[in-house]
Structure 1
């Protein structure tokens, strides 16, 4: 499994969420398989987007695309940090 962890601050979570939801089809088409959205405990506008992708190459192509740069601006995203991860192991306890 290939994962992407994105940590970013947003101007307003509700605005970000609307834009995020509108992008569902393009995220799926780009190779996103599943996702989780989390927030920092005491910072409601500090968002973590953790997702599973078909490949790191697909994820990088999507997140670095001019289309997504425009979408992030519309969503009020401030300085996103992208971390591309390859799964070594997983389990359920």
Structure 2
């Protein structure tokens, strides 16, 4: 199993969440087996997303998908997201 942690700032959480929810099919096709979203308690524009995958290679391939990057832009992600992989 592999886990990807994604930390990024969003301009508007509700707008970002609508886009995030709209790409559920992209997540499923990319091998996401479980996901959760968390907001920093004292900074709700700071979002942590946790995705689980069967393999590290599936996780890395998912985050290399240009459709995912386009979705992040549509959702109002500010700056470059921090993405870390764990096994």
Please confirm whether the aligned pair reaches a TM-score higher than 0.5, indicating the same fold: yes
Aligned pairs for 1:25-40 (under 5 A) are 25-40=25-40
The number of residues matched between the two structures is 86
State the partner residue of 1:68: 68
State the partner residue of 1:52: 52
CA apart distance, 1:38 = 0.6
TM-score (normalised: structure 1) = 0.87
TM-score (normalised: structure 2) = 0.93
Structure 1 CA distance for aligned equivalents of residues 18 and 5 of structure 2: 20
State the partner residue of 1:85: 86
State the partner residue of 2:6: 6
* Larger Cα-atom Rg: 1
State the partner residue of 1:89: none
Structure 2 CA distance for aligned equivalents of residues 54 and 61 of structure 1: 12
Unaligned runs of 5+ residues in structure 2 are none
Structure 2 CA distance for aligned equivalents of residues 22 and 7 of structure 1: 19
Deviation beyond 2 Å, 4+ runs, structure 1:
none
CA apart distance, 1:54 = 1.9
